[in-house]
Amino acid sequence: MSARFATSTVAVLGFGNQGRAHALNLRDAGVEVVVGARPGRGAESRARTLGFPVADPPEAARRAQVVAVLLPDEAVPAAWPALAAALAADSALVFAHGFNLLYADLALPPCGDVVLVSPTGPGSVLRRLHERGETLPAYLAVHRDGSGGAWALAAEYAEKLGCAPVLRTTVREETEVDLFGEQAVLCGGMNALVTAAFETLVARGYAPEIAYLECVHQLKHLADLLHERGVAGLRQGISGTALYGDLSRGPRVIGGPSRAAMAALLEEIRSGSFAREWAAEEAGGRRWLEAAVAGAAGHPIEQARRRALGPRPGPAEADA
């Protein structure tokens, strides 16, 4: 272990999706960890149950030389004044996403390193792979090189986290591409695509549970092929009929209007207007978001899932 990690305590602020995995993986690698969690909340008791020392986030930051900021992005600006007051001038900061480094005007320690170590997957996956001796790729970036060794700090943190290979990028690139990926494909695009396909079939009289199995449930098998083999490899694993339909029809589904929508939402990310809109929604108590989530939960696609698959467990807490 380098002198830096051998002599440093790492404060993991937040014990949610990423925080839990970072704390456990770093501890497995021999790093001394203190968890920063709000007193009396679920995260505090979950961390204590796993044997971590816990303090409220500013106190944890005060005790550490390296501080991993793993609070929800939207909670960081309000929590920051108390955290900033607790940081030493040379505290090193690790973020898992560049959102607040790019869009919020955080007061940073004047001479500390500020780096990005962003695993390319949920914390539950990072932890599961680590337990199996496998790794997850991560992006590294340096926002500020206070010590002259910020890249080395980021690389060593990633290694102890169980991330490999690592790709060097910038805070801007990581943030903009991450937001675009989740809006256009991984969350927004995927959910809108499967919902639209389901509605198209059901509106024309097809059984909802069959529409569900075909347009939603099977997606995982194809996504697994895509993950393992890439686009060309997936095409080798499907029937000739599916292959012809893919190449001749897919570009009609994601055609000119969808590409124009992608370009427009990328521009909203790059200009900062998406971040301002999200900050205003958070400041206003998430009224639109909560109504949208409640409305979507009542969509017939949820009933179709239950009818097609029977009762299933809800989302695991660690995946939340």
Active-site residue set: 97
The one among 10, 12, 17, 189 contacting ligand NAP by CB under 6 A: 17
Which residues in the 77-136 window bind ligand NAP by CB under 6 A? 79, 96-97, 118-119, 122-123
Taking the C-alpha atoms of residue 293 and residue 220, their distance in angstroms, rounded to an integer, is 23
Q: Which is nearer to ligand NAP, 168 or 259 (CB)?
A: 168
Q: For the CA atoms of 269, 272, 277, 280, what is the dihedral angle to 10 degrees?
A: 140
Q: For the CA atoms of 71, 75, 77, 82, what is the dihedral angle to 10 degrees?
A: -70
DSSP H/E element including 202: helix 188-203
The number of beta carbons lying within 10 Å of the beta carbon of residue 242 is 13
Q: Shortest Cβ contact with ligand NAP: which residue?
A: 16
Q: Are the beta carbons of 117 and 98 closer than 8 angstroms?
A: no
Q: Which is nearer to ligand NAP, 163 or 216 (CB)?
A: 163
Q: Are the beta carbons of 76 and 18 closer than 8 angstroms?
A: no
Q: Residue length, the chain?
A: 320
The one among 1, 6, 75, 164 contacting ligand NAP by CB under 6 A: 75
Min dist CB 141 to ligand NAP, Å, is 13
Which residues in the 20-49 window bind ligand NAP by CB under 6 A? 37-38, 41-43
Min dist CB 245 to ligand NAP, Å, is 32
Residues β-bridged to residue 95? 69, 116
Q: Which is nearer to ligand NAP, 70 or 202 (CB)?
A: 70
String of b and e for 42-75 (b: at least 16 CB within 10 Å)? ebbebbeeeebebbbbbbbbbebbbbbbbbebbe
Binding segment for ligand NAP among 69-77, 179-187, 207-215, 248-256 (CB under 6 A)? 69-77
The number of beta carbons lying within 10 Å of the beta carbon of residue 33 is 22
Place of tokens 């796993």: 50
Min dist CB 76 to ligand NAP, Å, is 7
Binding mask 130-169 for ligand NAP (x = CB under 6 A): ----------------------------------------
Place of tokens 């092929």: 225
Q: Which is nearer to ligand NAP, 199 or 268 (CB)?
A: 268
Taking the C-alpha atoms of residue 241 and residue 245, their distance in angstroms, rounded to an integer, is 6
Min dist CB 275 to ligand NAP, Å, is 12
The one among 10, 11, 15, 92 contacting ligand NAP by CB under 6 A: 15
Min dist CB 124 to ligand NAP, Å, is 8
**Is 57 one of the binding residues for ligand NAP (CB under 6 A)?**
yes
Min dist CB 163 to ligand NAP, Å, is 11
Residues that bind ligand NAP (CB under 6 A): 14-19, 37-38, 41-43, 57, 70-73, 75, 79, 96-97, 118-119, 122-123
